[in-house]
Amino acid sequence: MANILVRWLITTAIFFHPFFVSVVQIDQNTKEKSLEVSVRIFAEDFEATLKKFGNAKIDLQHPTDKAAVDKLVNAYLQTKLQLKVDGKPVTMHYIGYEQRLESIWVYLEVDNVTTLKKLDVNCNLLYEFEQKQSNIIHVKAAGSDKSYKLDNPKASTSFEF
């Protein structure tokens, strides 16, 4: 009985008090001299945001024009997520996206990262969609794991290695 009550309370709390969070994972790949970036966003929120951003109807799960959707996803991520390596802006190359359960995973890569002493992250994903949006940034580099949570409107943080 207690187990049923706990499940009901959790379900009710989530229903009445939704949370808005995205996760950005940045991993240094020293062998490939690159940064591997993956972004996890709730599919429903991302789709609604892309509709406003691109001023067009978007279906991420079943796109009628996959190339156009990829272009829009890339444009949005390039606008809302920027990186600087050791003080210099870098270009992220879009690899693609996939849907896993309720989330969209977007993959990007930064080439020619031979050293990483400092990583500056500017991230305001979905801030225009939800005032309570948070973006959690995880970085694995130089043998350490670091994390930081950005709550709307805060959009930037730095990691030193």
Sequence-distant (6+) residues with CB within 8 A of 40 are: 22, 23, 24, 25, 103, 104, 105
The answer to the question of residue 107 being in a domain is: yes
The answer to the question of residue 13 being in a domain is: no
Domain count, the chain: 1
pTM beyond 0.85, yes or no: yes
Q: CA dist 99 to 56, 73, 76, Å?
A: 20, 13, 17
**pLDDT tens-digit map of 50-100:** 999 988 888 999 999 999 999 999 999 999 999 999 999 999 999 999 999
Q: CA dist 65 to 59, 62, 71, 128, 136, Å?
A: 9, 9, 10, 25, 31
The answer to the question of residue 1 being in a domain is: no
The answer to the question of residue 2 being in a domain is: no
The answer to the question of residue 77 being in a domain is: yes
**pLDDT tens-digit map of 21-55:** 999 999 999 999 999 999 999 999 999 999 999 88
What residues make up the domain containing 120?
A: 19-160
Dihedral (Cα; 96, 100, 104, 106), 10-degree rounding:
-30
